[in-house]
């Protein structure tokens, strides 16, 4: 069987057990990514109480704004670098060879983050930031590799649902972060009871509270460690082996094992793959710019704009809930009780809006298409953000907080049944195999640049222009995301080679060879 037939076999392959195994293996990486990135927001207030309390003050200790921004944002800086580096490496060395590196880095740095050492606040925060940067670096590699691997394993009929299912594990990672924080804080609250801060400021933060944040951070290593063996057992994707490594015979053999079908590669066809091809253009070429330049602008800009809104909402929702009075004032609680109540609020949001949003995307993406879901998602995110911001004072009055939380939840629902999923899926489909991982890494890195803007910018914006104006600004960002969506092509129901233009390249190559041989080619 020729290279083309290997790819056709992949496109029409029935959904099998191996597809679900691949979803689980790749998805557990994303579960860990989400857990590690978002669990920090559950413990930042606790860190402030432990390390920055000054005796004699009437408020619990809190992280200085620059320290808070660094702790929340440093992992995103590492993620951005990791997405670019591992995305490029995935195209150079192969998806599988790089895949294990990222997972092991995440395991080591998750544990090291919880073991952050030092005698004074500065040294503890510095080591925490150091390890979270490298944790983010490993997480960054998981984005382009997981998306690319899943897209290249999938058939064209259910490819969107399979990639979305991998990404949907992010929702369960966020949910698990809240659940772990609830369990850990509950156990410590029972075993080490403490009064509220307003009753006794010193005793409200028990010494054992220092273990709470460390356990929550270190737990992220467990799911990644459990899937390491299976990740190493995965074969290289057939599309990389056939189209980039130019070894259709090995691609056929690998796919015969995992898809339980007999695929043979004809030797003479395999040898043809080693011949130099004039259309093997790279990323920094005029051909790429003409064919895919606007596509890359579209995927990068929409992901950038989405993550400004999405990550600022996720990381600082505890501040929003405190501002509207849904979470009680810090001084009315002990340190561990505050962790419990923040985790409970964020888990409720994840359970009622984040996870269902992902599930809707998995169910409908191959029916509605990527473009429609992304456009609808951005539209409703814009609508609900303005609905929160314009009558903001109404929502902060007593008795209206539940309405605010419902509206706020709907922005998360339409982010996840919308651009948060599609911006991950589309870059793994529309670019040629030889630069697919790199282009996904560039798009994802643009997203993390947005996350950095969101995590650093939201904190300062809230302090300088207030929560209401910040929400208006996020509504404008969502509207711009809707506009830039028109640069992104629809990929529903097409093979990867058809979308990326590689099928046209192969046809052109066949025509050229036939003409050189003096054979008439008809349309």
Summary mean pLDDT of the chain: 83
Tell me if 302 sits within 8 A of 370, measured CB to CB. no
Per residue in 9-48, pLDDT (tens digit) is: 666 667 777 778 888 888 888 898 889 988 998 899 999 9
Angle at 146 between CA 143 and CA 150, to 5 degrees: 140
For position 518, what pLDDT does the model report?
47
Residue 274 pLDDT > 50, yes or no? Answer: no
Over residues 70-116, the pLDDT tens digits come to 888 899 899 999 999 999 998 888 888 888 889 899 999 999 999 98
For 293, residues 6+ apart whose C-beta sits below 8 A from its C-beta are none
pLDDT at residue number 181:
95
Closest Cα partner for 406 from 388, 379, 382, 380?
388
For the segment 299-321, the average pLDDT, to the nearest whole number, is: 81
**CA dist., res. 412 & res. 421, Å (int):** 12
pLDDT of residue 330: 81
- Whether the pLDDT of residue 131 is over 90: the answer is yes
**What are the counts of helices (DSSP H) followed by strands (DSSP E) for the chain?**
24, 0
> pLDDT digit string (tens) for 384-438?
999 988 888 887 777 777 787 788 888 889 999 999 999 999 999 999 888 999 9
Which pLDDT band, with edges at 50, 70 and 90, does 49 fall under? very high
**pTM, whole model, 2 decimals?**
0.83
- Pairs from 369-372 (Cβ < 8 Å, separation ≥ 24): 369/490, 369/492, 370/160, 370/422, 370/425, 370/426, 370/488, 370/490, 370/491, 370/492, 371/485, 371/488, 371/489, 371/490
In the DSSP assignment, the letter for residue 241 is I
For position 270, what pLDDT does the model report? 43
Q: What is the pLDDT of residue 521?
A: 38
Q: At what angle do helices 436-464 and 286-315 cross, to 10 degrees?
A: 40
Q: How confident is the model over 446-457, as pLDDT tens digits? A: 999 998 888 777
Q: What pLDDT shows up at residue 410?
A: 87
Q: Using CA atoms, how far apart are residues 475 and 386, in angstroms rounded to an integer?
A: 6
| Residue 58 confidence (pLDDT) | 83
pLDDT for position 515: 43
pLDDT tier for residue 320 given thresholds of 50, 70 and 90: low
pLDDT greater at residue 507 or residue 436: 436
Q: Is the pLDDT of residue 310 over 90?
A: no
Helix 436-464 crosses helix 121-153 at what angle (to 10 degrees)? 140
Retrieve residue 279's tokens. 């259309």
Higher pLDDT, 57 or 15: 57
Give 1-5's long-range contacts (Cβ < 8 A, gap of 24+).
1/248, 1/252, 1/263, 1/264, 1/265, 1/266, 1/269, 2/248, 2/265, 2/266, 2/269, 3/242, 3/243, 3/248, 3/251, 3/265, 3/269, 3/270, 3/273, 4/506, 5/263
- CA-to-CA distance for 278 and 264, rounded, in angstroms? 27
Return the pLDDT at 504.
60
Contact (Cβ atoms closer than 8 angstroms) between residue 23 and residue 150: yes
Tens-place pLDDT, residues 337-363: 999 998 988 888 888 877 888 889 999
* pLDDT (0 to 100) of residue 520: 42
Between 373 and 523, whose confidence is greater? Answer: 373
Six-digit token string for 441: 């890494």
Say how many residues make up the chain.
Answer: 523
**Over the stretch 449-483, which tens digit does the pLDDT of each residue have?**
998 888 777 767 766 777 788 888 889 999 999 99
**Least confident window among 65-69, 84-88, 508-512:** 508-512
3-state secondary structure of 70: helix
pLDDT tens for each residue of 132-155: 999 999 999 988 988 888 888 888
> Could you say which DSSP state residue 353 is in?
I
In sequence order, what are the residues at sequence separation of 6 or more whose Cβ sits closer than 8 angstroms to the Cβ of residue 249?
265, 267, 270
Instruction: Report the percentage of the chain scoring pLDDT > 70.
Output: 85
pLDDT band at 314 (very low <50, low <70, confident <90, very high): low
Nearest to 414 by CA among 486, 310, 484, 305: 310
Of the candidates 43, 106, 49, which has an alpha carbon nearest to the alpha carbon of residue 72? 43
What is the 3-class SS of 454-476, one letter each residue?
HHHHHHHHHHHCHHHHHHHHHHH
Distance CA 498, CA 495 (A): 5
- In the structure, what pLDDT confidence band is assigned to residue 502 with cuts at 50, 70 and 90? low
């Amino acid at each position: 069987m020729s290279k083309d037939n290997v790819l056709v076999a992949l496109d029409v392959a029935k959904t099998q057990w191996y597809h679900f195994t691949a979803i689980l293996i790749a998805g557990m990486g994303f579960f860990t990514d989400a857990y590690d990135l978002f669990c920090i927001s559950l413990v930042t207030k606790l860190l402030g109480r432990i390390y920055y309390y000054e005796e004699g003050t009437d408020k619990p200790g809190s992280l200085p704004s620059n320290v808070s921004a660094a702790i929340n944002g440093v992992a995103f800086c590492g993620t951005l670098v990791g997405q670019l580096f591992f995305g490029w490496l995935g195209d150079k060395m192969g998806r599988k060879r790089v895949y294990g590196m990222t997972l092991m880095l995440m395991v080591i740095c998750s544990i090291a983050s919880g073991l952050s050492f030092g005698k004074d606040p500065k040294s503890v925060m510095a080591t925490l930031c150091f390890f979270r940067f490298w944790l983010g670096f490993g997480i960054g590699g998981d984005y382009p590799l997981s998306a690319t691997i899943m897209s290249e394993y999938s058939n064209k009929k259910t490819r969107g649902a399979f990639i979305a299912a991998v990404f949907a594990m992010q929702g369960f990672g966020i949910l698990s972060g809240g659940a772990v924080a609830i369990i850990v804080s509950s156990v410590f609250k029972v075993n080490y009871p403490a009064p509220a801060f307003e009753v006794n400021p010193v005793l409200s933060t028990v010494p054992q509270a220092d273990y709470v944040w460390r356990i929550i951070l270190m737990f992220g290593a467990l799911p990644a460690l459990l899937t390491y063996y299976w990740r190493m057992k995965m074969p290289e994707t057939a599309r990389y082996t056939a189209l980039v490594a130019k070894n259709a015979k090995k691609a056929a053999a690998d796919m015969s094992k995992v898809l339980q079908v007999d695929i043979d590669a004809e030797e003479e066809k395999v040898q043809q793959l080693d011949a130099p091809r004039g259309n093997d253009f790279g990323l920094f070429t005029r051909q790429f710019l003409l064919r895919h330049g606007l596509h890359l602008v579209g995927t990068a800009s929409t992901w950038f704009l989405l993550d400004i809104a999405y990550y600022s909402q996720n990381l600082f929702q505890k501040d929003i809930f405190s501002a509207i009075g849904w979470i009680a004032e810090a001084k009315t609680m002990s340190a561990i009780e505050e962790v419990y109540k923040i985790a409970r609020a964020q888990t409720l949001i994840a359970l009622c809006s984040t996870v269902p949003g992902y599930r809707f995307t998995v169910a409908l993406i191959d029916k509605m298409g990527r473009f429609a879901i992304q456009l609808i998602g951005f539209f409703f995110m814009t609508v609900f953000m303005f609905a929160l911001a314009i009558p903001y004072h109404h929502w902060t009055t007593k008795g209206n907080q539940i309405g605010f939380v419902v509206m706020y939840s709907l922005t998360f629902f339409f982010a996840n049944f919308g651009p948060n999923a599609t911006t991950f899926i589309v870059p793994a489909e529309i670019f040629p195999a030889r630069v697919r991982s790199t282009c996904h890494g560039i798009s994802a890195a643009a997203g993390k640049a947005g996350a950095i803007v969101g995590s650093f910018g939201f904190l300062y914006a809230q302090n300088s222009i207030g929560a209401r104006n910040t929400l208006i600004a996020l509504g404008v960002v969502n509207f711009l995301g809707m506009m830039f969506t028109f640069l992104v092509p629809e990929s529903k129901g097409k093979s990867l080679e058809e979308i990326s233009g590689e099928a046209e390249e192969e046809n052109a190559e066949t025509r050229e060879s036939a003409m050189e041989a003096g054979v008439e080619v008809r349309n």
